[in-house]
């Protein structure tokens, strides 16, 4: 085996050497006649106006080429040598123009920036109170058949109260919810007690009572529809709703 391997490596090396020698030999031949002067190369330019648009609006793409036989723009396809076109992409786009002629290929690019819709644009720099409310105010969860706030939820309600104290122009509704077990009427009364508990806790932490409305949904509007403890726990809650 070893011997055979050695043999084939040696053969390959010998062949390469012969080839290389041959190539060197060719280069050593007399130089060819100088090539004819190349034909004039194509020119190309592309621009977009305006170069920034809000989403949903359009911009004008303008391009010019010369000495080109084959002009195309990526994403648009083959186009006339020169021209304009309305474009309204949903995302920022780079337009790549390729002009091919006998004298070669010329490329040009331009970029159109698309900004998100103006509403969001306005919101982005400073989130609205409703957004902050959604990010900061967390629901409170209850134990089975109980309407007092469990000890592990005290921190949640304190954080909620702190946020609401800092944003005193937000009014809220506290919804009391119950899991699907038990009876409709009793659950509505229980949900009412849960909503009241949450309100009392917020008031105790300094939130003005007249900013807080309460409503019970009992088991009428469950967050989770399955019949297991994980789902029931999701449904035993005091849910906060932002009010203008």
Partner 1 sequence: MSMNKCDLLDATYRPTIQCQVISSFRTGFTRMDHAKKTKSLHAPTAEQRIRTRLLSSICLLSLLLTLASASSAQDWVRTGSGLGVEKVRLAVPDFKPSGADLQTTGLLKTFDDTFWNDLDNSGVVELVSKSFYPLQVPGQPPDVTFGLWNSPPPNAAMLAFGNLGVAAGKLTVQGWLYDVKNTASPLVIGKQYSDVPTDDAARLIAHKFADEIIFRLGGGIPGIAETKIYFVSDRSGHKEIWMMDYDGSNQRPVSHQGSISLSPRISPDNSRVAFSSLTKSGWEILMYSVELNRLVSFPHFGGTNLSPSWAPDGTRLAFSSSRGGHSEIYVCDSSGANLHAMTTGRGPDVSPTWNAKTGSQIAYVSGSTGLPQVYTMGADGTNQQRMTDQGYAVSPNWSPNGQFLALAWTRKYGPGEPGSSDIYLMDIASKQWVQLTHDGGRNDFPWWAPDGRHIVFQSSRSGKEEIWMMLADGTKLHQLTFTGRNSQPNWSSK
The residue from 216, 219, 235, 236 that contacts partner 1 (CB under 8 A) is 216
Q: Is residue 136 within 8 Å of residue 72, measured between CB atoms?
A: no
- What one-character DSSP code corresponds to residue 30? P
196 binds partner 1 (CB under 8 A): yes
What does the per-residue mask of binding to partner 1 show for 104-143, with x meaning CB under 8 A? ----------------------------------------
Nearer residue to partner 1 within complex by CB, 190 or 207: 190
89 binds partner 1 (CB under 8 A): no
Nearer residue to partner 1 within complex by CB, 132 or 188: 188
- Residue 134 CB, shortest distance to partner 1, in Å, is 24
What does the per-residue mask of binding to partner 1 show for 142-171, with x meaning CB under 8 A? ---x-x------------------------
CA distance 76 to 170: 50
- Residue 154 CB, shortest distance to partner 1, in Å, is 19
The residue from 186, 206, 241, 243 that contacts partner 1 (CB under 8 A) is 186
Nearer residue to partner 1 within complex by CB, 123 or 189: 189
Q: Is residue 223 within 8 Å of residue 191, measured between CB atoms?
A: no
Q: Which stretch binds partner 1 (CB under 8 A): 57-65, 122-130, 152-160, 188-196?
A: 188-196
184 binds partner 1 (CB under 8 A): yes
Residues binding partner 1 (CB under 8 A):
145, 147, 182-186, 188-190, 192-193, 196, 215-216, 220
């Amino acid at each position: 085996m070893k011997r055979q391997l050695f043999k084939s490596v040696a053969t390959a090396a010998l062949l390469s050497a012969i080839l290389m020698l041959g190539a060197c030999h060719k280069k050593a031949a007399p130089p060819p006649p100088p090539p004819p002067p190349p034909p004039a190369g194509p020119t190309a330019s592309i621009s977009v106006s305006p170069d920034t648009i809000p989403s949903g609006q359009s911009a004008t793409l303008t391009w010019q080429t010369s000495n080109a036989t084959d002009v195309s723009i990526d994403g648009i396809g083959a186009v006339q040598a020169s021209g304009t076109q309305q474009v309204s992409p949903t995302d920022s786009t780079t337009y790549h123009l390729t002009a091919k002629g006998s004298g070669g290929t010329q490329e040009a690019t331009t970029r159109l920036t698309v900004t998100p819709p103006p509403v969001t644009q306005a919101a982005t720099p400073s989130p609205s109170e409703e957004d902050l409310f959604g990010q900061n105010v967390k629901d409170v969860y209850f134990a089975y058949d109980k309407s007092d706030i469990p000890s592990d939820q005290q921190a949640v309600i304190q954080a909620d109260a702190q946020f609401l104290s800092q944003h005193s122009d937000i009014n809220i509704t506290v919804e009391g919810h119950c899991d699907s077990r038990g009876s409709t009427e009793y659950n509505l009364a229980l949900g009412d007690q849960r909503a009241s508990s949450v309100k009392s806790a917020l008031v105790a932490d300094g939130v003005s009572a007249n900013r807080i409305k309460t409503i019970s949904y009992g088991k009428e509007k469950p967050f989770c529809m399955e019949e297991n403890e994980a789902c029931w726990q999701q449904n035993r809650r005091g849910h906060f709703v932002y009010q203008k």
